């Protein structure tokens, strides 16, 4: 079963997009290779729903973070090697020899550079495979039973093929000759033989090595990022446990963020969140949503520690906009969003749902009635986990008496010398802050109007 979400949620949490400003993907994209970037994007687009698979991937990130490994090749080196290995070979050795001879003749006659490019590509592949061979040997030399040992052994089995040994063993005359950047000294037959070997005979086998290289790129890059930022990891639990526990939750893109602890379980599966504007409600909800998503990927999260029951999906309603092309007002767009989530919840899926300020696009009375009725209706789905934020604290007072599975918390505002300060520390209860008018007065808006 695949993890269910939608574009609205991806946009709300700013999860995808290499070039999208502040995206979570761009934050984690510390890879050196095209294969690593493709793999990272695949992981981001397809979170996992099996606890064992999630924990196994998480263990790999922990392992490489603890090792302090450094990716052994530069992006330029990998680009040159992969460009050569991805280019087509010529089917059999005589054809390869003929094409090499033809290219060499053209290089002499008309200064054609294709023969030189062939030599440089082969050189890049040899050097790259030598580095990978040494890296994997060192990795296994330090730990024969680590979580990546089987993959490393499979790649080494390819690199230890007797047909490659003369080329990759650094103490052999052939590899020494190939490493010299003197193309005129390279025997044509030798070049053709190894070009045929790498791009034709061992082409599919080397896909295993390249796949391992891409994985190492992601595991090392993400692991080192987590270690540098002091991020923790999430332990995946069976769905039946119905729990989300995060200690020291922060948003990974917020510098010096304040950590909060949150627990939702089968007895209190809904958080009713209140607080003034700028108190941090939206950021808190985004941090929670991002952590849920990353945890299902098996990735490190911006928190001390996390344990969670695997869910079927994640939906949010944080930055819902009007739709002029459909003639939908802001309020109607909100209603449609709630309807879509209600449909998914009613189908029996175990979801995490985030609603930030329900029905803020309508009048206060309708917003109160809508927030109260929708929150109460959703609270009956105890297999899901909800966070619902609102300014309508009166709805919270009613819900406290009606439902026993809601947790009430708020982000406080502290007044110092008539000015608000926001500690961003979650408190139990319902907010009693009334600072909106004070902020208006502090900005002297009324004085400007009166003038």
Is 267 among the domain residues?
yes
Residues 200 and 255 in one domain: no
- Give the β-pairing of 419-421 and 414-416: antiparallel
**Contact (CB, 8 A) for 224 and 30:** yes
User: Would you state the pLDDT for residue 391?
Assistant: 84
- Mean pLDDT over 146-167 rounds to 87
Say whether pLDDT at 326 is over 60: no
**Cα-based distances in Å from 117 to 73, 81, 221:** 20, 12, 31
Phi, psi torsion values for 141, nearest 5 degrees: -65, -30
**Contact (CB, 8 A) for 267 and 406:** no
Q: Which residue has the higher pLDDT, 268 or 75?
A: 268
Residues 179 and 289 in one domain: no
Domain boundary residue among 177, 208, 226?
Answer: 226
Confidence grade of residue 170 (pLDDT, cut at 50, 70, 90) = low
Residues 210 and 239 in one domain: no
**Cα-based distances in Å from 150 to 85, 106, 139, 162, 417:** 24, 46, 11, 20, 63
* Residue (of 186, 209, 69, 184) closest to 125 by Cα position: 209
Percentage of residues of the chain with pLDDT beyond 90: 47
Confidence grade of residue 184 (pLDDT, cut at 50, 70, 90) = low
- Mean pLDDT over 242-253 rounds to 95
Is 254 among the domain residues?
yes
Residues 121 and 98 in one domain: yes
Cβ-Cβ contacts under 8 Å for 280 (sequence gap 6 or more)? 411, 422, 424
Confidence grade of residue 102 (pLDDT, cut at 50, 70, 90) = low
User: Would you state the pLDDT for residue 176?
Assistant: 56
What CATH number does the domain containing 384 carry? 3.40.50.300
User: Would you state the pLDDT for residue 110?
Assistant: 44
Domain boundary residue among 226, 242, 263?
Answer: 226
Residues 144 and 191 in one domain: yes
CA distance 113 to 406: 71
**Contact (CB, 8 A) for 415 and 423:** no
Is 417 among the domain residues?
yes
Encode pLDDT of 103-156 as tens digits: 554 544 445 556 677 778 888 888 889 899 999 999 998 888 889 999 999 999
Query: Over the chain, what HEC string results?
Result: CCCECCHHHHHHCCCCCCCCCCCHHHHHCCCCCHHHHHHHHHHHHCCCCCHHHHHHHHHHHHHHHHHCCCCCCCHHHHHHHHHHHHCCCCCCHHHHHHHHHHHHHHHHHHCCCHHHHHHHHHHHHHHHHHHHHHHHHHHHHHCCCCCCHHHHHHHHHHHCCHHHHHHHCCCCHHHHHHHCCCHHHCCHHHHHHHHHHHHHHCHHHHHHHHHHHHHHHHHHHHHHHHHHHCCECEEEECHHHCCEEEEEECCCCCCCCCCEEEEECCCCCEEEEEECCCCCHHHHHHHHHHHHHHHHHCCCECCCEEEEECCCEEEEECCCCCECCCCECHHHHHHHHHHHHHHHHHCCCCEEEEEECCCCCCCHHHHHHHHHHHHHHHCCCCCCEEEEECCCHHHHHHHHHHCCCEEEEEECCEEECCEEECCCCCEECCCCCCCHHHHHHHCCHHHHHHC
User: Would you state the pLDDT for residue 328?
Assistant: 47
- Mean pLDDT over 346-351 rounds to 92
Residues 205 and 79 in one domain: yes
Is 114 among the domain residues?
yes
Residues 264 and 165 in one domain: no
Is 60 among the domain residues?
no
User: Would you state the pLDDT for residue 322?
Assistant: 45
Cβ-Cβ contacts under 8 Å for 436 (sequence gap 6 or more)? 276, 277
**Burial degree of 90 (CB within 10 A; 0-12, 13-18, 19+):** middle
Percentage of residues of the chain with pLDDT beyond 70: 82
Q: Which residue has the higher pLDDT, 354 or 168?
A: 354
Total of domains in the chain: 2
Which residues form the domain of 183? 67-226
- Mean pLDDT over 207-236 rounds to 95
Is 37 among the domain residues?
no
Residues 421 and 297 in one domain: yes
Domain boundary residue among 189, 210, 226?
Answer: 226
Q: Other C-beta atoms within 10 Å of 104: how many? A: 22
Is 56 among the domain residues?
no
Residues 178 and 290 in one domain: no
- Enter the tokens of residue 425: 């520390």
How high is the mean pLDDT of the chain?
Answer: 84
CA distance 391 to 370: 13
Residues 184 and 241 in one domain: no
Residues 244 and 386 in one domain: yes
Confidence grade of residue 173 (pLDDT, cut at 50, 70, 90) = very low
Confidence grade of residue 218 (pLDDT, cut at 50, 70, 90) = very high
Is 12 among the domain residues?
no
Residues 257 and 406 in one domain: yes
């Amino acid at each position: 079963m695949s993890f269910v979400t939608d574009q609205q949620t991806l946009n709300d949490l700013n999860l995808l997009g290499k070039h999208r400003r502040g995206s979570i993907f761009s934050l984690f994209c510390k890879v050196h290779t095209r294969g690593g970037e493709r793999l990272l994007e695949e992981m981001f687009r397809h979170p996992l729903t099996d606890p064992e698979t999630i924990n196994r991937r998480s263990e790999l990130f922990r392992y490489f973070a603890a090792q302090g490994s450094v990716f052994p090749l530069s992006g330029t080196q990998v680009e040159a090697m992969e460009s050569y290995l991805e280019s087509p070979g010529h089917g059999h050795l005589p054809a390869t020899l003929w094409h090499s001879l033809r290219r060499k003749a053209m290089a002499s006659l008309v200064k054609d550079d294709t023969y030189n490019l062939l030599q440089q590509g082969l050189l890049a592949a040899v050097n790259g495979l030598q580095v990978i061979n040494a890296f994997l040997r060192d990795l296994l030399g330090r730990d024969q039973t680590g979580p990546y040992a089987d993959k490393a052994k499979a790649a080494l089995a390819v690199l230890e093929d007797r047909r490659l040994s003369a080329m990759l063993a650094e103490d052999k005359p052939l590899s020494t000759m190939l490493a010299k950047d003197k193309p005129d000294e390279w025997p044509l037959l030798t070049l053709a033989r190894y070009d045929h070997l790498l791009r034709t005979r061992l082409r599919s086998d080397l896909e295993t090595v390249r796949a391992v290289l891409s994985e190492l790129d992601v595991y090392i890059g993400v692991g080192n990022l987590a270690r540098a930022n002091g991020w923790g990891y999430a332990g995946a639990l069976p769905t039946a446990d119905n729990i989300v526990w995060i200690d020291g939750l922060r948003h990974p893109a917020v510098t010096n963020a304040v950590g909060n602890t949150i627990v939702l379980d089968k007895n209190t599966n809904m958080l009713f969140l209140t607080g003034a504007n700028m108190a941090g409600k939206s950021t808190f909800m985004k941090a929670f949503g991002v952590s849920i998503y990353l945890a299902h990927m098996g990735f490190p999260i911006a928190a001390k520690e996390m344990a969670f029951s695997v869910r079927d999906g994640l939906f949010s309603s944080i930055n819902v906009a009007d739709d002029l092309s459909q003639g939908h007002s802001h309020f109607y767009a909100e209603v449609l969003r709630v309807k879509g989530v209600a449909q998914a919840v009613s189908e029996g899926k175990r979801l995490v749902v985030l609603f930030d300020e329900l029905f803020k696009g309508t009048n206060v009375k309708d917003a109160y009635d809508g927030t109260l009725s929708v929150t109460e209706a959703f609270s009956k789905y105890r297999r899901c986990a909800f966070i619902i934020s609102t300014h309508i604290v009166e709805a919270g007072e009613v819900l406290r008496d009606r439902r026993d599975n809601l947790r009430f918390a708020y982000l406080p505002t502290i007044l110092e010398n008539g000015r608000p300060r926001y500690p961003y520390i979650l408190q139990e209860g319902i907010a009693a802050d009334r600072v909106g008018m004070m902020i208006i007065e502090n900005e002297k808006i009324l004085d400007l109007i009166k003038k």
